A and B are shown apart, each in its own frame.
Chain A
Amino acid sequence: QKEVEQNSGPLSVPEGAIASLNCTYSDRGSQSFFWYRQYSGKSPELIMFIYSNGDKEDGRFTAQLNKASQYVSLLIRDSQPSDSATYLCAVKPNQAGTALIFGKGTTLSVSS
C-alpha cells in the first residue's frame, strides 16, 4: 500500500516567521511531488511541484526533495495570515496507470 504521510497539525506560526511543512512517502520509486494549498470550502490550488533532488524556490515558497530519505518539504518564508490553509502533499508513484496519492494535509495557522 503506497502511502503519503503528513502531520495533521495545526501548525501555528507568527506572522513573518518561516513555516515548515513536511511529508514522507513510502514508494521509493516515486518521481513527482506536488504541494497544494486548500482554503476552507475551496478547491486545492497547485502551488509547487518538484521532480529532482534539492531545492526549488518560487517567491516565498521553497520545496525541498530528498529521495534517499523519501522526504519532501515546503517552506513558506515571511508567513502571512493569508497563508492560513490546509497544505496537501501529493506524490505520483513510478508506475503506469496510477494516479496521485494525497497525504491527509497539514493545517497551517498564521497569527498576526
Chain B
Amino acid sequence: DTEVTQTPKHLVMGMTNKKSLKCEQHMGHRAMYWYKQKAKKPPELMFVYSYEKLSINESVPSRFSPECPNSSLLNLHLHALQPEDSALYLCASSPRDGYSYEQYFGPGTRLTVT
C-alpha cells in the first residue's frame, strides 16, 4: 500500500484567515515533503522533513509554516496568504531521504485564497 492522505481536499480562505493542511502516511516512510503546484507547471518543492526534522526549506515565505508532529503526520499552517498562493498543495513521502528513493504523492489540497 502506497497511500498518502491529505485533508481537506478543497479549502477557500480569506487573506486574514489561519488554516492548516494535514497529511498522513502509514507506510513507515521517514521523509515527508510539501510541494506547491500551479496549473500546467511541475510541482515546486517547499519543505522536506527527514526523520521528523526539517532538512530543506526552499526559501518559502513565513506565512507558510510546516510542522511534523510525528513520523506519520505532516502539517502546513497557513496565515495571511495572498491570492497568488492559490494552488494545489501536495504532500509526498518516501522510504528515506537519500540518493535513491521513490516518492509518493497524496491527492492534494486545492487552495483558493480570496
Asked if residues B42 and A97 are in contact (CB atoms below 8 Å), the reply is: no
Q: Is the interface of B mostly helix, strand, loop or mixed?
A: loop
Chain A proximity of B53: nearest CB distance (Å): 12
Q: 1/0 per position for B56-91, CB-CB distance to A under 8 A?
A: 100000000000000000000000000000001010
B55 adjacent to chain A (CB < 8 Å): yes
Chain A proximity of B33: nearest CB distance (Å): 7
Residues of A within 8 A of B33 (CB): 99
Count chain A residues whose beta carbon lies closer than 8 angstroms to a beta carbon of B.
Answer: 23
Q: 1/0 per position for B102-114, CB-CB distance to A under 8 A?
A: 1111111000000
Chain B proximity of A99: nearest CB distance (Å): 5
Interface centre among A34, A44, A92, A103, by most chain B C-beta atoms within 10 angstroms, is: A44
Chain B proximity of A9: nearest CB distance (Å): 11
- Known A92-B100, A99-B45; judge A43-B90 contact (CB<8 A): yes
A31 adjacent to chain B (CB < 8 Å): yes
Give complex CA distance A102, B92 in Å.
14
- Using a CB–CB cutoff of 8 Å, the interface residues on chain A facing chain B are 31-32, 34, 36, 42-46, 49, 51, 88, 90, 92, 94, 97-100, 102-105
Q: Give the number of residue pairs across the A-B interface with Cβ within 8 Å.
A: 49
- Known A43-B90, A43-B106; judge A97-B101 contact (CB<8 A): no
Asked if residues A34 and B103 are in contact (CB atoms below 8 Å), the reply is: yes
- CB contact between B103 and one of A98, A100, A104, A105 (< 8 Å): that residue: A100
B48 adjacent to chain A (CB < 8 Å): yes
- CB contact between A102 and one of B2, B42, B99, B100 (< 8 Å): that residue: B42
Count chain B residues whose beta carbon lies closer than 8 angstroms to a beta carbon of A.
Answer: 21
Give complex CA distance A34, B90 in Å.
17
Give complex CA distance A44, B45 in Å.
13
Chain A proximity of B94: nearest CB distance (Å): 9
Interface centre among B2, B88, B105, by most chain A C-beta atoms within 10 angstroms, is: B105
- Known A99-B45, A99-B48, A104-B41; judge A43-B99 contact (CB<8 A): no
Give complex CA distance A99, B34 in Å.
11
